[in-house]
Amino acid sequence: MRKLVYLAIAAMVFTACGSEKNSKEVQPGIKKALWGQKDNKQVDLYTLTNKNGIEVKISNYGGTVTAWIVPDKNGNKANILLGFDSLSGYMAPPPYFGALIGRYGNRIANGKFVLDKKQYQLATNNGKNHLHGGLKGFDKVVWDAVVVSDSVPSLILTYISKDGEEGYPGNLKVTVQYTLTENDELKIEYNAETDKATPVNLTQHNYYNLTGDPSNSILNHSLWIDADQYTPVDSGLIPTGEIKSVKSSPFDFTTATKIGARIDSVKGGYDHNWVLNRKDSSLQLVAAVTDSVSGRKLEVFTTEPGLQFYSGNFLDGSLKTSSGKPINQHTGLCLETQHFPNSPNQPNFPSTILLPGQKYHSVTKYKFSLNKN
């Protein structure tokens, strides 16, 4: 389940500015606005704009992408992400809208794993399981931010996760660079180093609705995933360890298919990991989602071996957009590039263990385009 209990929220102090009127250009194509304060640190909102007029808004609170503003086939611009205009909206807490996820994206069964013959107990925040880094994962911290605009606008975020944070071993230094390219791509480059062996699985949690209106369902979006296999899950959404063919099942998106076409055959909806078809770790196109009405299309490129497709099953209308619209079930979808869930407890899955002296490096690109037919 994604309805989480955040016991640590009450201890987190913030002040919301809720305004971008103080926005100033700090580099060509990059504006910065004071957005509030959290944990006695300044929270800013950065707006990256490319030559095509595409805008992406990112906060150093949680590395959160709050908006991606793009046109439809008629030239009408809208935000294709679920999110909020003010920092206070992200304190509710929302279900990871637009957030950077770590130290481990997705679930670890019972919050436990054994590494070098030692058992580690992580925070459990999803029933008995550990989800998306725990009670205070990377989505709930204020990152150090540096803007770069050599040829295209970039935001570089850095965070040091201390040894023992949420139960994880090792001091982990993480750097994430968001770049808005001239080809209308949001490129995300992850780097990390540790001083002790530790699991690392970083990802990004945008909720997309290509109609640009969160009142609309995403069930009419068409989805293609370059994956012949997926990892079945138990009732707690933990992979069973089996790697199963998608053929003749509702998990087969090897041909572009409407998300709503077979969702009723999947108990609870889609919230599964697809095993991507790949021979190496090079950057490759792995998925695409389209909305025929607006003409908007989003392609996903990654170096990762897996993709979590989540169909917004636990959105229930209790959260509202900044304009007051309820965020209902199936009004946003996530395409989270990743290693597989619960990999530290599944030796047949690709390893997520980072060792001292090694460098964690992962790249994902989300490319926007239009079909004007």
Q: What is the pLDDT of residues 108-161, one digit of tens each?
A: 999 999 999 999 999 999 999 999 999 999 999 999 999 998 789 999 999 999
Altogether, the residues listed in the chain come to a count of 373
Query: What CATH number does residue 307 fall under?
Result: 2.70.98.10
Kindly name the residue from 130, 330, 336, 339 that is annotated as catalytic. 336
Strand partners, 147: 155
Query: Can you give the C-alpha Rg of the chain in angstroms?
Result: 19
Q: Which band of pLDDT confidence, cut at 50, 70 and 90, is reported for residue 18? A: very low
The predicted structure's pLDDT at residue 136: 96
- Asked if residues 205 and 94 have their Cβ atoms less than 8 Å apart, the reply is no
Query: Phi and psi for 53 in degrees, rounded to 5?
Result: 80, 10
Query: Is residue 70 over pLDDT 70?
Result: yes
- Asked if residues 341 and 310 have their Cβ atoms less than 8 Å apart, the reply is no
The DSSP call for residue 343 is G
- 270 within domain boundaries: yes
The whole-number average pLDDT for the span 10-14 is: 33
The predicted structure's pLDDT at residue 372: 76
The predicted structure's pLDDT at residue 19: 52
Q: What is the pLDDT of residues 312-348, one digit of tens each?
A: 999 999 999 888 899 999 999 999 999 999 999 999 9
In the chain, what is the straight-line distance between the N-terminal and C-terminal CA atoms, in Å? Answer: 39
Q: Is the peptide bond before 93 cis (omega within 30 degrees of 0)?
A: yes
- 4 within domain boundaries: no
Region label for 282, one of left (φ > 0), alpha (ψ between -120 and 50) or beta (otherwise): beta
Kindly name the residue from 205, 221, 272, 339 that is annotated as catalytic. 205
Instruction: Say whether 265 sits in a helix, a strand or coil.
Output: helix
Please report the DSSP string for 80-143 in residue order.
-B---SSGGGGGS--S-TTEEE-SB-SEEGGGEEEETTEEEE----BTTBEETTSTT-GGGSBP
Distances, alpha carbon 198 to alpha carbons 6, 63, 112, 252, 358, in Å: 24, 22, 12, 33, 11
> What is the percent of the chain with per-residue pLDDT over 90, rounded to a whole number?
88
Distances, alpha carbon 135 to alpha carbons 97, 131, 192, 280, 349, in Å: 16, 9, 21, 34, 25
- Asked if residues 133 and 202 have their Cβ atoms less than 8 Å apart, the reply is no
Query: Is residue 177 over pLDDT 70?
Result: yes
- 98 within domain boundaries: yes
Instruction: Say whether 259 sits in a helix, a strand or coil.
Output: helix
Is residue 205 part of the annotated active site? The answer reads: yes
Q: What is the pLDDT of residues 226-251, one digit of tens each?
A: 999 999 999 999 999 999 999 999 99
Q: Which amino acid is at 54?
A: I
Query: Phi and psi for 260 in degrees, rounded to 5?
Result: -80, -5
Query: Phi and psi for 133 in degrees, rounded to 5?
Result: 95, -5
- 2 within domain boundaries: no
The predicted structure's pLDDT at residue 17: 42
38: CB partners within 8 A, 6+ apart? 12, 13, 14, 61, 87, 142
Query: Is residue 13 over pLDDT 80?
Result: no
- Asked if residues 263 and 250 have their Cβ atoms less than 8 Å apart, the reply is yes
32: CB partners within 8 A, 6+ apart? 23, 24, 25, 26, 44, 45, 46, 47, 147
Q: Which band of pLDDT confidence, cut at 50, 70 and 90, is reported for residue 93? A: confident
Query: Phi and psi for 228 in degrees, rounded to 5?
Result: -90, -10
- 277 within domain boundaries: yes
The predicted structure's pLDDT at residue 241: 97
Domain that holds residue 32: 9-370
Number of domains observed in the structure of the chain:
1
The predicted structure's pLDDT at residue 20: 64
- 84 within domain boundaries: yes
Query: Is residue 2 over pLDDT 50?
Result: no
Is residue 221 part of the annotated active site? The answer reads: no
Query: Is residue 60 over pLDDT 90?
Result: yes
pTM of the model: 0.94
Q: What is the pLDDT of residues 269-293, one digit of tens each?
A: 999 999 999 989 999 999 999 999 9
The predicted structure's pLDDT at residue 15: 36
- 141 within domain boundaries: yes
**Among the listed residues 272, 263, 268, the one whose alpha carbon sits nearest the alpha carbon of residue 240:** 272
- Asked if residues 253 and 259 have their Cβ atoms less than 8 Å apart, the reply is no
Region label for 18, one of left (φ > 0), alpha (ψ between -120 and 50) or beta (otherwise): left
Mean pLDDT, rounded, of the chain: 93
The predicted structure's pLDDT at residue 48: 97
Query: Phi and psi for 11 in degrees, rounded to 5?
Result: -90, 0
- 256 within domain boundaries: yes
Lowest mean pLDDT among 89-98, 258-267, 269-278, 310-319: 89-98
